[in-house]
Chain A
């Protein structure tokens, strides 16, 4: 069963506007971590933001925030004030079993974001 679902293969956003990239996940673990990564056209993978399942507040890192809705099992990435350099592929990922030594992280298929000038 697919554990990380990113339903938006591609998204367009106007420069300086905010955009939300969707991510839903499936797990029976109580302790897990959620991540977002950015992959520009150059190909490198860049870690953006992390949310632990027990964290009560949504994670924020500069213009990135993670809208964590635990009951709905969603972990959407919000990018505020989009910039042309935000055009990239974005991957949602989950690591299960944090309190039992889990080490495997699984990735969604990704969402390609296009920022228009």
Chain B
């Protein structure tokens, strides 16, 4: 099915470990996004990519890096995980004038 594929679905990290969250979309959308969702706070934008080859910071970029590998793929990297990064992470893509299509989310726990 067309959409946004996010991996992994669950992950437990120790403080200081690194990991990369993968995201791919097959809808030929130009823009892609990474959000985190914490209880009571809605979704907050970490980074986004308006088009292939560009990336920009969102509201909460500290502790994260991103790579827009090609038009389909947009990865999020945690270089040194901290307990404050325990959250649910969503990748999304968007066609102008429409809403986001979200991935199924990654539940990350940092211990």
Contact = CB atoms under 8 A, between A and B. Distances in A.
Contacts of A44: 102, 104-105
Interface string A84-117: 0000000101000000010111111110000000
Contact of A109 (B35, B42, B59): B42
B50 A103 contact: yes
B42 A110 contact: yes
Interface residues of A, number: 24
Tell me what chain A mostly uses at the interface: helix, strand, loop, or mixed: strand
B99 interface: yes
27 contacts: A35-B99, A37-B99, A37-B100, A43-B88, A44-B102, A44-B104, A45-B43, A45-B92, A45-B100, A48-B99, A49-B99, A50-B97, A52-B97, A91-B42, A91-B43, A103-B33, A104-B45, A104-B59, A105-B33, A105-B45, A105-B94, A105-B100, A106-B59, A107-B42, A107-B43, A107-B44, A109-B40
Interface of B: 31, 33, 35, 40-45, 48, 50, 56, 58-59, 88, 90, 92, 94, 97-102, 104-105
